[in-house]
Amino acid sequence: MSLKKTQSIDMIHGPLLKNIWIYSVPLMATNFLQMLFNAADTVVVGRFAGEQALAAVGATGSLCFLLISLFNGLSMGSNVLIARYIGAQDHDKIEKAVHTSITLAAVSGILLTGIGYFLSRPLLEMMSTPSDIIGLSELYMRIYFVGTFFGLIYNFGASILRAKGDTKRPLYFLCISGITNVVLNMIFVVFFHMSVAGVAIATVISQAVSTVMVCKTLMEEKDATRLDFKKLGIDLSMVWNIVKIGVPAGIQGMVFSLSNVVVQSSINSFDSSTIVAGNSAGANVENFVYIGMMAFTQACITFTSQNIGAKNYGRVKEIFKTTMILDMIAALSMGFIVWYFGDFFLGFYTSEPAVVEAGMSRLFWVALFLVLNGILDVFVCSMRGMGYSTLPTAVMIVGICGVRLTWLWTVFPMHRTLDVIYMCFPISWTITSIIQGFFWVYCHNKLLKNAELVQE
C-alpha cells in the first residue's frame, strides 16, 4: 500500500522552506492551542479557586513532566522510526511499527498511572512543597495521572500521523478536546466549586476524547499506517529500535525535569505560596514562546528522519540550517513580546501585585533567553533524526542537569533571590549549546563518510 498523498507532505523532494513551513504552521497552531488550553486551566483555578489552588497546580508541573518524560520520549522514537520507514517505502515495517507503538503506549500508560497515583505524596514531600498546598497538589496529581493512559495513546497516535507529514488532523483533534477541557473546567470549578479536582477531571476527560479521535482516524487510513486492533502486539525488534531512539530522548526530558524539580524545590524553599504562584503563572506565560520553537524542531527531526530513510543525505544540512533560522526568529520575537507585555499577560492569572512581580522575574531570565534553548533543541533533534540519540543525551545530562544543580547548590545558597535561581536557565543553555554544536559537526561528518563508504 502506498502512502496517501492528500494528507502527507513530500519531505524528500521539492523546496525545503515551503514544505517545512506547510508542515510547521499546523503544529504552531496546535502548540498555541495546547498552551492556551493549559493556560485556561491555570486561569480558571487562579481566578475562581484562589491563590492556594493556583500554587498547588503550579507546584506539580515539573514533577508531572518528570514522570511523563521517559514515555513521551518513546513516542519520539516511534516518530523517527516510522518516518525513516516511510522514507525507505518499507510498508511491512511501517505496519509493524504502528501496531507496536500503539501497544507500547497502552502498556506504558497503565504503568505510568500506577506510578503517578502512588508516588505523588512522597515526591511532593521530597520537593518541600509548602504545607498549606501539598494536600491539594496531591489530589490534583492523583487524578491527573489517571488520564496519562489516554494521553500516551494520543501522543503515539499523533506521532504516527506526523511521521508522514500530517500535522492538520492532530490540530483538529486538539481543538475539540481543548474546547471540551475548557467547558468542563468552567462547569466543575466555577459552578460545582471542585477546585483542583475539577481541573484534573476535565483534563482526563478531554484526553480520552482526543484518544478516541486519533484511534478512529488511524483505523480509517488507507495506507500502511492503518490501525487494526487485531494486529496489536509487541514486535521485539521494533521495540528495540524505538527504545534506542526514544529512551535517550526520554532520559533527556527527565534530566530537564529533574533539574526543574530542583529549581521548583529552591523556589519552594522560600515557603511562600505567593512566590510559587508567581512562578506558576510566569511558566505558563513563558510556554507561549515554545509555539514556533517546538514546531520547527519537530519538523527538523521528521524531515531528517525521512531523508535518512530515503538515503538522501545531502538534504540533512539544509534541513538543519532552515529549521535553525526559523526556530531562532520564532524564539526571539515571541520571547520579547512575552517579556515586554508580561504584566498584561500575568494579569490574566492573578490580580495580586506580588504574584505578578514574582512572575516577571521568571519572564526576564527565562522567556527572554529561550532562543538559547531553541538553538540547543535544533542541534539535538537533527542528531536524533540522523540516528544519534545517546550522544546528545549524555551531553544534556552534563550540560543541563550538571550546570543547573551546581549553580543551585553553590551560588544560590550564597545569594538567595529569585533572580539567582532563574539565571541557571540561560547559563546552562549557553554552555550546552556550544558543546552540542561541536558534536553535531562530528555526527554529520560521520554520516557523510559512512554514506560514501556504502556507495563505494
pLDDT per residue as tens digits for the range 83-142:
999 998 899 999 999 999 999 999 999 998 998 888 888 888 887 788 888 888 889 889
Residue 22 pLDDT level (bands cut at 50, 70, 90): very high
- The better pLDDT of the pair 128, 444 is held by 444
pLDDT tens readout for residues 170-203: 989 989 998 998 899 889 988 888 888 898 899 8
150 with 181: CB under 8 angstroms? no
Q: Are the C-beta atoms of residues 330 and 291 closer than 8 Å to each other?
A: yes
CA 197 – CA 202 distance, rounded (Å): 9
Indicate whether 293 pLDDT > 50.
yes
Per the prediction, the chain carries an average pLDDT of: 87
Instruction: Dig out the grid coordinates for 275 from the structure.
Output: 512566590
What's the rounded Cα separation, in Å, for the pair 243 and 222?
Answer: 28
- The pLDDT score that the predictor gives to residue 1 is 43
What is the tens place of the pLDDT at every residue in 298-355? Answer: 999 999 999 999 989 989 999 999 999 999 999 999 999 999 999 999 988 788 888 8
Confidence of residue 365 (pLDDT cuts 50, 70, 90): very high
Confidence of residue 396 (pLDDT cuts 50, 70, 90): confident
Give the mean model confidence (pLDDT) for residues 384-402: 88
Question: What's residue 378's pLDDT?
Answer: 96
Half-sphere exposure (Cβ direction) of 107: Cα atoms closer than 13 Å: 11
Q: What is the pLDDT of residue 68?
A: 80
**Angle, helix 273-286 to helix 51-58, in steps of 10 degrees:** 60
**Beta strand residue intervals within 54-177, DSSP E:** none
Instruction: Identify which has the larger pLDDT, 2 or 91.
Output: 91
- pLDDT higher than 90, residue 281: no
- Output the pLDDT for position 6: 47
> What confidence tier does 7 reach under pLDDT thresholds 50, 70, 90?
low
Return all residues near 13 (Cβ < 8 A) that are at least 6 apart: none
CA atoms within 13 A on the CB side of 32: 10
Is the per-residue pLDDT at 5 higher than 60? no
Per mean pLDDT, which range of 18-27, 60-69, 162-171, 222-231 is the poorest?
A: 60-69
The three three-digit cell numbers of residue 261, written as one number: 524539580
Q: Does 210 score more than 80 pLDDT? A: yes
Q: Check whether 456 has a pLDDT greater than 80.
A: no
Q: Which residue has the higher pLDDT, 260 or 311?
A: 311
The pLDDT of residue 4 is above 60: no
Contacts of 326 (CB under 8 A, 6+ apart): 20, 21, 24, 292, 296
- Angstrom CA distances, 6 to 142, 155, 221, 320, stand at 41, 22, 11, 26
The CA-CA-CA angle for residues 212, 213, 219, to 5°, reads 90
Q: pLDDT tens across 11-21, in order?
A: 988 789 999 99
Residues contacting 331, CB < 8 A, separation 6+: 289, 292, 293, 370, 371, 373, 374
For range 347-366, the mean pLDDT: 88
Q: What percentage of the chain reaches a pLDDT higher than 90?
A: 45
The percentage of residues in the chain with a pLDDT greater than 70, rounded to a whole number, is 97
Judged by phi (left if over 0) then psi (alpha if -120 to 50, else beta), residue 57 lies in alpha
Q: How far is CA 233 from CA 99, 100, 101, 149, 238, in A?
A: 6, 6, 9, 17, 11
* Whole-number pLDDT of residue 455: 55
- 411 pLDDT band (50/70/90 cuts)? very high
- Tallying the residues shown for the chain, one arrives at 456
- Mean pLDDT across 142-157: 90
Condensed to tens digits (0 to 9), the pLDDT of residues 36-81 reads 777 777 778 877 777 778 788 877 876 777 778 778 888 989 999 9
Which residues does 224 contact at the CB level (< 8 Å), separation at least 6? Answer: 1, 3, 91, 92, 94, 95, 98
pLDDT of residue 135: 87
How confident is residue 285, by pLDDT bands cut at 50, 70 and 90? Answer: confident
